[in-house]
């Protein structure tokens, strides 16, 4: 007798004894009426394969349990091959405690001689039932072990996939990397490792090889395993997509290969549609600041926090006194009041300022996003509506980027490209779209792929960094990916802008070469082109990767990576400020 006590409120109060009893209560044999029987073992299956299922008169249901089951299966399979009806009826009898002596042999003969017809015409539910029957009544150890293993696998899938429906996510949508809970798995199991885990391939591979040992069950088992790995709605496909996301995050952001971080508790949610704002640290010209502020106010921002990295009288004149704009000039007085020296790296200044804004914003908005003045929220829906849909236990919301296709200087980009590392995009897309330079480009982008984060306000001591939320030196894991919205990045909106920012980006920005960078990356490529081919080489690169041409738009469109949003920041400036200001 086990010394372990039953857990409180067990799922099965009567334990395994009750489970077995409940299972057996449904296994009473199907009785036959006088003169009624299953087809004999030597029945003509080839002749039966030429027939179609017809439904007997409904009155026949009352003759016997066997007649009732015969009618029910015929009703379901009407018009289909008669072998499918025979298979279903044999399964129904073999699920019971007893059945005619030849039932299992006839089932095995059916699958030995006519597996091709059954596999071609049978639906997946009956195939799973057939595997279960092999597990119970197979004649060889391989038939029984393969049937039982696959039956258990598909039964477990049905249970957890049914529960997953209550998450509100469709079966083809994986959960987010940042939404991972920190609690333990049942039975003291270690969590599956997205990067290094081999449980999925070991399980599927062993079942595939096990089925090789028996020619009768092999066609059915291999058919179902192939369907399992092909279906986009299974846990295996979802884990594959999560693994790809994790590996991209490791490559893009230097994340560790383990899913480390903290889950930040969310104690307060807005009672109605949430309000939101954005924060940026900038030294951009007044015209660019005006476009940034006006665009976001026009699409619904309740607050815009602007931190001037260096004083700019023109920007101050424009924004001072605006009721929805909080302007802070980061001069020597500002840093002295903060009690710290001005950080040398602009990234550190950005993170510090955004974090200060997040503290102040709790009295004004429900969400605050950290973006740059060359970035614009692009969404066909109101951002407040999308933020309202974020699950209540998520501390942040991630929006992935779209890069503007370059136009002539002074014009506004009309088209944006999406990253080739998105879900469902084939690995060949980056070189299909950018045949010369694509292999050097992460996701086909010159700039970041990680996107930007909106944080709930009022979370306490949280750092709103450039691409993520952090608390006590660790990433906040419970961050939700927002769909149908992008951060439109005017990273290289025209040739002159690309050239003018090249020195800074190569020395301190997104093109700088790090000691551990791969040889094929954008930093090494631009260094080579600049040194060996000069402006002609840089122009060839820019034209392929950035310039808004019909050929590039067609290649992007072919892969579903072209975005044409509603975007007119100058019109927004006229509405908000009356006119586009001059410096």
Domain end call among 65, 87, 122: 122
Q: Is residue 463 located within the same domain as residue 509?
A: yes
- Asked if the structure places residue 268 within a domain, the reply is no
The values of phi and psi at residue 487, to 5°, are -95, 105
Pick from 359, 373, 258: which is nearest to 315 by CA? 373
Contact 377, 401 (CB under 8 A): no
Cα 287 to the center of its chain, rounded Å: 37
Same domain (yes/no): 425, 533:
yes
DSSP 382-424: -HHHHHHTS-TT-SEEEE-EEEEPB-STTSPP--EEE-TTSTT
- Residue 224's pLDDT is what? 94
The residue among 122, 155, 182 that closes a domain is 122
Residue 315 has pLDDT above 90, yes or no: yes
> Both 85 and 165 in a single domain?
no
Q: What is the mean pLDDT of residues 416-421?
A: 94
- Dist CA 425 CA 429 (whole Å): 7
In a domain, 572, yes or no: yes
Residue 178 has pLDDT above 90, yes or no: no
- Write the DSSP string, 485-496: -EEEE-SS-SHH
Whole-number average pLDDT of the chain: 89
- Describe the crossing of helices 141-164 and 235-253 by its angle, rounded to 10 degrees: 70
Quickly state the pLDDT bin for 104 (edges 50, 70, 90): very high
Rounded mean pLDDT of 419-448? 89
pLDDT digits (tens, 9 = 90+) for 68-99: 999 999 999 999 999 999 999 999 999 999 99
Q: What is the pTM assigned to this prediction?
A: 0.59
Q: Which of 122, 156, 181 is the endpoint of a domain? A: 122
Residue 13 lies in a domain: no
Region 568-583: what's the mean pLDDT? 86
Closest CA to 49 of 98, 119, 97, 117: 117
Statement: residue 388 has pLDDT above 60:
yes
Q: Is residue 433 domain-shared with residue 357, that is, in the same domain?
A: yes
Query: Do 251 and 331 belong together in one domain?
Result: no
For 250, the enclosing helix (H) or strand (E) is: helix 235-253
Distance CA(504)–CA(495), nearest Å, equals 15
Instruction: Please report the pLDDT score of residue 572 as a whole number.
Output: 96
Q: How do residues 323-357 score in pLDDT, each as one tens digit?
A: 999 999 999 999 999 999 999 888 889 999 999 99
| 419 and 564 in a common domain | yes
- Residue 189 in any domain: the answer is yes
| pLDDT for residue 257 is more than 50 | no
pLDDT on residue 275: 96
Residue 269 lies in a domain: no
Whole-number pLDDT of residue 250: 59
Question: How far apart, in whole angstroms, are the C-alpha atoms of residue 492 and residue 573?
Answer: 21
User: What pLDDT, on a 0 to 100 scale, did the predictor assign at position 39?
Assistant: 95
User: Residue 520's pLDDT is what?
Assistant: 66
pLDDT of residue 515: 57
Q: Between these two residues, 112 and 517, which has the higher pLDDT value?
A: 112
- Whole-number pLDDT of residue 258: 45
Same domain, 363 and 292: yes
Q: Confirm whether 271 is domain-assigned.
A: no
Instruction: Round to whole Å and give the CA distance between 269 and 275.
Output: 11
Query: Percent of the chain beyond pLDDT 90?
Result: 65
407 and 310 both lie in a single domain: yes
Confidence of residue 567 (pLDDT cuts 50, 70, 90): very high
Q: Residue 473 above 80 pLDDT?
A: no
Verify that 422 and 458 share a domain, yes or no.
Answer: yes
What gap in Å lies between CA 510 and CA 448, rounded to an integer?
8
Q: At 5, is the pLDDT very low, low, confident or very high (cuts 50, 70, 90)?
A: low
pLDDT value, residue 390: 93
Residue-level pLDDT at 2? 45
* Closest C-alpha among 452, 14, 83, 75 to residue 253: 452
Residue 316 domain-assigned (yes or no): yes
Same domain, 74 and 191: no
Judge if 189 and 213 occupy the same domain. yes
Res 162: pLDDT: 92
pLDDT band at 1 (very low <50, low <70, confident <90, very high): very low
| pLDDT of 256 over the 60 cut | no
In a domain, 485, yes or no: yes
Quick: pLDDT tens for 366-376. 999 999 999 99
Q: What is the CATH number for 390?
A: 3.90.550
Q: Which residues contact 64 (CB under 8 A, 6 or more apart)?
A: 30, 31, 32, 33, 36
pLDDT digits (tens, 9 = 90+) for 502-555: 998 888 778 887 654 556 678 889 988 999 899 999 999 999 999 999 999 999
Q: Check: CB of residue 555 under 8 Å from CB of residue 444.
A: no
Instruction: Let me know whether 113 and 247 are in one domain.
Output: no
Determine the structural domain holding residue 254 and report its residue range: 128-260
**Residue of higher predicted confidence among 314 and 258:** 314
pLDDT digits (tens, 9 = 90+) for 23-72: 888 888 999 999 899 999 999 999 999 999 999 988 888 889 999 999 99
Instruction: Between 245 and 414, name the one with better pLDDT.
Output: 414
pLDDT at 453: 95
**From CA 49, how far away is CA 113, in angstroms rounded?**
11
In the chain, the number of structural domains is 3
């Amino acid at each position: 007798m086990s010394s372990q006590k039953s857990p409180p409120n067990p799922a099965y109060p009567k334990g395994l004894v009750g489970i077995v009893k409940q299972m057996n209560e449904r296994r009473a044999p199907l009785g036959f009426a006088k003169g009624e029987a299953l087809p004999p073992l030597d029945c003509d299956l080839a002749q039966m394969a030429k027939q179609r299922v017809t439904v007997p008169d409904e009155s026949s249901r009352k003759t016997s349990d066997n007649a009732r089951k015969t009618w029910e299966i015929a009703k379901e399979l009407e018009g289909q091959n008669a072998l499918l009806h025979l298979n279903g009826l044999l399964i129904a009898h073999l699920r019971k405690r007893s059945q005619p002596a030849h039932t299992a042999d006839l089932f095995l003969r059916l699958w030995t001689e006519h597996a091709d017809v059954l596999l071609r015409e049978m639906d997946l539910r009956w195939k799973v039932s057939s595997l279960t029957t092999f597990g119970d009544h197979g004649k060889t150890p391989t038939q029984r072990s393969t049937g039982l293993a696959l039956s258990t696998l598909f039964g477990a899938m049905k249970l957890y996939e049914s529960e997953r429906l209550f998450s509100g996510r469709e079966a083809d949508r994986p959960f987010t990397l940042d939404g991972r809970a920190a609690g333990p798995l049942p039975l003291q199991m270690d969590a599956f490792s997205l990067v290094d885990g081999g449980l999925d391939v070991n399980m599927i591979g062993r079942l595939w090889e096990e089925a090789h040992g028996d020619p009768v069950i092999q066609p059915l088992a291999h058919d179902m395993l192939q369907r399992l790995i092909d279906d986009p709605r299974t846990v295996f496909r979802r884990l594959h997509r999560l693994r790809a996301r994790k590996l991209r995050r490791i490559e893009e952001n230097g994340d560790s290969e383990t899913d480390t971080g903290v889950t930040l508790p969310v104690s307060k949610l807005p009672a109605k549609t949430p309000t939101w704002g954005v924060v940026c640290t900038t030294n951009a010209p007044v015209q660019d600041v005006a476009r940034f502020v006006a665009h976001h106010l026009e699409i619904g921002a309740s607050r815009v926090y602007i931190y001037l990295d260096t004083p700019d009288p023109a920007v101050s004149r424009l924004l001072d006194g605006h009721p929805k704009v909080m302007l802070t000039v980061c001069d020597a007085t500002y840093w002295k009041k903060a009690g710290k020296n001005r950080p040398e790296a602009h990234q550190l200044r950005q993170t510090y300022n955004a974090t200060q804004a997040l503290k102040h914003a709790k009295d004004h908005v429900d969400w605050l996003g950290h973006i740059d003045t060359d970035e614009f929220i692009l969404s066909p829906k109101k951002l407040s509506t999308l933020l309202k849909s974020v699950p209540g236990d998520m501390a942040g919301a991630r929006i992935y980027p779209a890069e503007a296709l370059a136009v002539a200087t002074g014009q506004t980009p009309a088209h944006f490209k999406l990253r080739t590392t998105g879900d469902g995009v084939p690995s060949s897309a980056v070189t299909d779209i950018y045949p010369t330079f694509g292999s050097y480009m992460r996701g086909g982008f010159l700039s970041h792929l990680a996107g930007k984060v909106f944080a709930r306000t009022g979370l306490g001591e949280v750092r709103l960094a450039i691409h993520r939320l952090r608390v006590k030196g660790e990433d906040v894991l419970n961050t939700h990916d927002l769909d149908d919205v992008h951060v439109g990045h005017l990273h290289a909106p025209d040739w002159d802008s690309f050239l003018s920012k090249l020195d800074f980006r190569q020395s301190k920005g997104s093109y700088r070469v790090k000691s551990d960078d791969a040889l094929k990356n954008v930093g090494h490529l631009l260094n080579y082109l600049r040194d060996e081919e000069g402006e002609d080489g840089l122009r060839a690169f820019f034209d392929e990767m950035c310039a808004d041409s019909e050929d590039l738009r067609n290649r992007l469109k072919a892969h579903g990576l072209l975005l044409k949003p509603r975007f007119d920041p100058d019109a927004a400036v006229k509405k908000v400020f009356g006119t586009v200001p001059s410096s």
